[in-house]
Structure 1
Amino acid sequence: MKQIISTFPLVFFFLFFIYCTPTFSQSPAQAPAPPGPTNVTAILEKASQYTTFIRLLKTTQVADQLNTQLNNSNQGLTIFAPADNAFTNLKPGTLNSLTDQQKIELIQYHVLPSFFSVSQFQTASNPLRTQAGGSDGQFPLNITTTGNQVNITTGMVNATVANTVYTDNQLAVYQVDQVLLPHSLFTPPPPAPAPSKPKKHPSSDSPSSSDDTTHVDSSGGIRLSQHALRAMSSIILVLATSFGSILFVSV
């Protein structure tokens, strides 16, 4: 009995060692994977309520362009994202009236090609260049601030930044309460020019010196041209001469 009791600790230790050995031999847990590249649509999808804006970003392929810029440069971007209700408030048919190129310009108009924090808007110089304008200065917008409130003017609408959706010192995404409509896309076309009036011809009662036709004036009388008058005068003169000669011979 004593021998069994004395060997029990050894058996227990041996079994414990066998059980624990696989556990200790496991590899250590892997470190968390580094964050993936910035994805604009993924950020908006996580925030929700941007279905229409996301659809336009994808169909115009502007989303791919923005993601490439963010992941290959340090310049940063600022995106003004209208929520779904902002698109609902547009006049019916507004988006459908645009061509594919105009839709690209509309979405690019909501992007500034550099990073702006809310405080940086207070010192921004207007007009601000948008992604739609390129280097030629087209499609600008103006930013004004009142305290912490940021207002955006396009010449067509006045919008307000409602809140900050995302910021990481390279990308800033702000919710705006209206779709930013650029003036160059939504200005009514100028009215068509009035048809030119036909030139007035000289009045029939004011014949030119070269007019060789006979006219009837407003009183119903016949007005002869200068050429006709000269011909008639010659005929009268010939007749008068002939008549005078006849009278002379008769006498």
Structure 2
Amino acid sequence: MAATSLPLIFFTLCLLSPLTLAQTPAPTSSPSPTNLTGILDKNGQYTTFIRLLNDTQIFNQVENQLNNSNNGLTVLAPTDNAFNNLPSGTINSLTQQQKVQLCLYHILPQYYSLNDLQLVSNPVRTQATGNDGVWGLNFTGQNNQVNVTSGAVTTQISNALSQQKPLAVYQVDKVLLPEELTGGSPSTISSPAPTSSPAKANTTVSSAKEPSPAGSGACQSNMGLGLVVGLAMVCMGAVSS
């Protein structure tokens, strides 16, 4: 009986093995180091940034640059919460060209590790340009703690999503709004110095030169008194002689 059951058990196991293998999920592979869409999708919480990159066709530009350049790229990816914390209507108020500039402002035309970003010479050029030239960002930090500022917004690079050359992707918790799109920082706006009115200045000078009416009357009284005294003395001298 035992000898008969062994082949039966072996045959049953052979039948079940393909079913077991078929039900085992295949391991998920990491996205290619040049696949920006895959990197952002895998990490989640970047749906707004992904939509902007798609709408502006920046994804295609990134892919072309990675395939045709040895410099690589660095992407600063704002989270969905970063976009949600913007004032209501901020993104919708931008023109299509401004949306392109905003996306490109979050892309550096070179691969930078976190250590590189601590040693760069500021400002660091971005892919965004305007009538005044290339727009830049400033980086500061130490011990792999890096802060980035646009002048209008300052935030911290809080997570490295990918650091495999030729593409580095870092998480930022604020949207880096360039001053060129926000109208400039209030501290950079200087008011012209007030100019004095020439007419008022001339009036002031003239009034300083003219004698006061009271002073003129006193002078005339003194002259009249002196004349009377002089005549009296002349008369007295004539009488005595």
For Structure 1 versus Structure 2, the TM-score category normalised by the shorter chain is: 0.5 to 0.7
Change in Cα spacing, 1:51 to 1:158, as seen in structure 2 (3 Å) is same
Residues 37 and 71, structure 1, Cα contact 8 Å, conserved in 2: no
Does 160-169 or 132-141 show the bigger shift? Answer: 132-141
Q: C-alpha distance in 2, partners of 1:106/1:91?
A: 16
Relative to structure 1, the CA distance from residue 158 to residue 37 in structure 2 (aligned partners, 3 Å threshold; closer, same or farther) is: closer
Task: Give the Cα separation in 2 of the matches to 1:137 and 1:128.
Answer: 13
Confirm whether residue 78 of structure 1 aligns to residue 74 of structure 2: yes
Q: Which one of 145, 154, 157 corresponds to residue 153 of structure 2? A: 157
Partner residue, 1:97: 93
Give the fraction of aligned pairs with identical amino acids, expressed as a percent. Answer: 56
SS in 1 for 2:158: strand
1:46 counterpart = 2:39? no
Instruction: Kindly indicate whether residue 145 of structure 2 is the aligned counterpart of residue 142 of structure 1.
Output: no
Could you tell me which residue of structure 2 aligns to residue 166 of structure 1? 162
The answer to whether the 8 Å contact 1:76/1:114 transfers is yes
Distance 1:81 1:36, change over 3 A: closer
Higher helix share: 2
Unaligned runs of 5+ in 2: 1-30, 190-241
User: Which protein is bigger by CA-based radius of gyration?
Assistant: 1
Q: Which has the higher strand share?
A: 2
Count of residue correspondences: 156
1:138 deviation in Å?
2.7
Where has structure 1 moved over 3 Å in runs of 4 or more? 134-137
Residue 176 of structure 2 corresponds to residue 180 of structure 1: yes
TM-score under structure 1 length normalisation: 0.59
Judge conservation of contact 1:139–1:183 (CA < 8 Å) in 2.
Answer: no
Aligned-pair RMSD on alpha carbons? 2.2
TM-score scaled by length of structure 2: 0.61
Q: Does the 8 Å CA contact 2:138/2:150 hold for their aligned counterparts?
A: yes
Matched residue, 1:131: 127
Kindly indicate whether the alpha-carbon contact (under 8 Å) linking 2:127 and 2:134 is maintained by their aligned counterparts in 1: no
Shift of 1:98: 0.3
2:226 maps to none
- Greater RCO (Cα-Cα under 8 Å, separation 6 or more): 2
Q: Secondary structure at the match of 1:138?
A: strand
Moved more, 146-155 or 98-107: 146-155
Compared CA separation, residues 96 and 135, structure 1 to 2 (3 A): closer
Per the TM alignment, residue 50 of structure 1 is displaced from its structure 2 partner at its CA by 0.3
What is the distance in 2 between the residues matched to 1:122 and 1:74?
Answer: 22
